[in-house]
Chains A and B, each alone.
Chain A
Amino acid sequence: MNAITTDNAVAVRNVYKNYGDVEALQDLSLDFPKGQLTSLLGPSGCGKTTLLKIIAGLIPANSGEVLVNNQPVSGPGPDRAFVFQDFALMPWASVLRNVAFGLELRGVAKSEREAIAEKYIGDVGLEGFENSYPHELSGGMRQRVGLARALSVDAQVLLMDEPFSAVDEQTRRKFQEDLLSLVHNENKTFLFVTHSIEEAVYVSDQIAILLPRPSRVSEIIRPQGFRNKDVDSIRRDPEYLDLVDRIWVSLRTYVE
Chain B
Amino acid sequence: MKVFGYQLPNMSSLILWGLLWEIVGQIELPFCLPPLSAIFTTLLEIGGTPAFLKALRETAEAFAIGTTAAIVIGVPVGILMGKSRLIDELLLPWVNIFLSAPLTALVPVLMVLFGFGLTAIVITTALFAIWIIVLNSRAGVMHINRSLVEMAHSFGASPFDAFTKIYFWAALPEILGGVRIGFIRAVKGVIIGQLLISIVGFGSLFELYASNFLMKHFWAVLIVLFALSFVIAEFLAYLERRVEYYAARR
The chain A residues found within 8 Å of chain B, CB to CB, are 53, 56-58, 76-78, 80-82, 84-86, 88, 90-92, 101-102, 104-106, 133-135, 149, 153
Contact = CB atoms under 8 A, between A and B. Distances in A.
A58 B150 contact: yes
Contact of B154 (A76, A85, A92, A134): A76
A92 B172 contact: yes
B148 interface: yes
A106 B246 contact: no
A105 B250 contact: no
B246 A91 contact: yes
Binding site secondary structure of chain A: loop
A56 B169 contact: no
B147 A88 contact: yes
Binding site secondary structure of chain B: helix
A141 B218 CA distance: 60
A105 B156 contact: yes
Contact of A82 (B151, B157, B158, B249): B151
A85 B154 CA distance: 14
Interface string B114-157: 00000000000000000000000000000001011011111111
A76 B145 contact: no
8 contacts: A77-B156, A84-B147, A86-B147, A90-B148, A91-B246, A92-B172, A135-B245, A135-B246
A82 B150 contact: yes
Contacts of B154: 56-58, 76, 80-82
Given A58-B150, A88-B145, A92-B172, A101 B156 contact: no
A92 B243 contact: yes
From A56, A58, A92, name the one whose CB has the most chain B CB atoms within 10 angstroms.
A92
Interface in B232-248: 243, 245-246
Contact of A91 (B150, B158, B161, B249): B249
Contacts of A102: 155-156
Interface residues of B, number: 23
A90 B169 contact: yes
B151 to A, nearest CB: 4
B184 to A, nearest CB: 25
A64 to B, nearest CB: 20
A105 B147 contact: no
Nearest to A57: B154
Contacts of B169: 90, 92
B157 A105 contact: yes
Nearest to A82: B154
B166 interface: yes
From B153, B156, B158, B170, name the one whose CB has the most chain A CB atoms within 10 angstroms.
B156
Nearest to A153: B155
Given A58-B150, A88-B145, A92-B243, A76 B250 contact: no
Contacts of B150: 53, 58, 82, 84, 88
The 9 A-B pairs with the shortest beta carbon distances in the complex, nearest first, are A91-B246, A88-B151, A102-B155, A88-B147, A82-B154, A76-B154, A91-B249, A92-B169, A84-B147
Contacts of B151: 82, 84, 88
Contacts of A90: 148, 166, 169-170
A134 B169 CA distance: 15
Contacts of B245: 91, 135
A134 B145 CA distance: 15
Given A58-B150, A86-B147, A92 B246 contact: yes
A135 B249 contact: yes
Contacts of B246: 91-92, 133, 135
A58 B148 CA distance: 12
A82 B246 CA distance: 23
